[in-house]
């Protein structure tokens, strides 16, 4: 057999194996825990952070995901956006069902991602789908944070709606801390300030604004993750960005980037299982 055919056959087998592995990973999420210490935290709490579901279902009605949330024992749940997929059409059924189930059990705070804001900003395509979806979410008891802040004791939780120019492919606009304040108002300097900011690209602006903890997603872990190099490609066609997933620190402020729970457009995950994020907020000891 010619060597070229051998190499071609091996490449086809490797590709088939990679696709099978990807399909397996997409259906098997992992729970990963983080610990945040701050002198601003007066009461220790645990929360769960969900991002980029994109209508993915882990078991009927997402019962496996709900069971994992229950096992984490959260005091509240934060949603970081992109719970559905908005392309030529928009289906919000799985996202609405999961959000309602969560709200029946825990306080839930919901920040928008680019798919929610696209649904809102294109009524010529989606009609009043955004309004009806958010009305149903609010009726379930969810606190929707669209460029707004909710206060819970020693916590301030803010959601920011980043305009389309910050999600532009290849060369997104530059975000400043002044732009963050113009959109979402001033940070709460007395309380522990949490910011739900869907894109992790602008950690510097978020931290300068005053976010003690930024929660982001959007990059789906980089689609394919390689040892040492990390995530390969973002949905904005940026390559090998270090902020595709994980925990980051700048000047004492933290950012946790979820690898997300679903996929869209490029439905591949390799070495990059979906992720349920659990965060433990603890008071930093003083000596």
Tell me if 100 sits within 8 A of 139, measured CB to CB: no
Per-residue pLDDT at 11 exceeds 80: no
Q: Give pLDDT, residue 229.
A: 84
Q: What is the pLDDT of residue 10?
A: 52
Of the candidates 81, 281, 76, the residue with the CA atom closest to the CA atom of residue 193:
281
Give 225-271 pLDDT, tens digit per residue. 988 888 888 888 888 899 999 999 999 999 999 999 999 888 889 89
Say how far apart CA 280 and CA 263 lie, in whole Å. Answer: 27
pLDDT at position 236 is 86
Residue-wise pLDDT tens digits, 51-86: 999 999 999 999 999 999 999 999 999 999 999 999
List the alpha helices (DSSP H) in the chain. 3-26, 63-72, 93-103, 114-121, 123-126, 129-139, 177-184, 203-209
pLDDT above 70 coverage of the chain, percent: 93
Q: Is the pTM of this model over 0.85?
A: yes
């Amino acid at each position: 057999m010619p060597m070229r055919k051998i190499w071609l056959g091996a490449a086809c087998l490797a590709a088939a194996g990679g696709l099978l592995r990807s399909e397996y990973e997409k259906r098997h999420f992992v729970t990963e825990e983080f610990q945040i210490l701050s002198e601003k935290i007066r009461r220790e709490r645990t929360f769960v952070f969900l991002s980029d579901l994109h209508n993915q279902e882990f078991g009927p009605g997402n019962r496996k995901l709900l069971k994992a949330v229950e096992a984490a024992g959260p005091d509240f749940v934060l949603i970081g956006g992109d719970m559905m997929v908005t392309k030529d059409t928009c289906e919000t059924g799985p996202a609405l069902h999961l959000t309602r189930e969560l709200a029946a059990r825990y306080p839930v705070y919901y920040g928008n991602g680019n798919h929610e804001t696209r649904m809102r900003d294109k009524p010529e395509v989606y009609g009043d789908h955004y309004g009806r979806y958010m009305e149903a979410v609010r009726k379930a008891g969810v606190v929707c944070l669209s460029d707004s802040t909710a206060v819970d004791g020693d916590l301030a939780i803010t959601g920011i709606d980043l305009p389309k120019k910050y999600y532009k492919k290849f060369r997104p606009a530059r975000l400043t801390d002044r732009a963050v304040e113009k959109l979402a108002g001033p940070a709460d300097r007395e309380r522990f300030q949490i910011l739900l900011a869907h894109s992790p690209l602008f950690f510097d602006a978020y931290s300068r604004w005053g976010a003690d903890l930024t929660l982001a997603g959007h990059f789906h872990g980089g689609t394919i993750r390689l040892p040492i190099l990390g995530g390969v490609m973002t949905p904005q066609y940026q390559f090998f960005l270090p902020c595709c997933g994980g925990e980051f620190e700048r000047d004492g402020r933290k950012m946790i980037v979820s690898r997300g729970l679903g996929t869209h457009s490029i439905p591949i995950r390799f070495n990059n299982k979906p992720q349920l994020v659990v965060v433990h907020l603890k008071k930093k000891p003083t000596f």
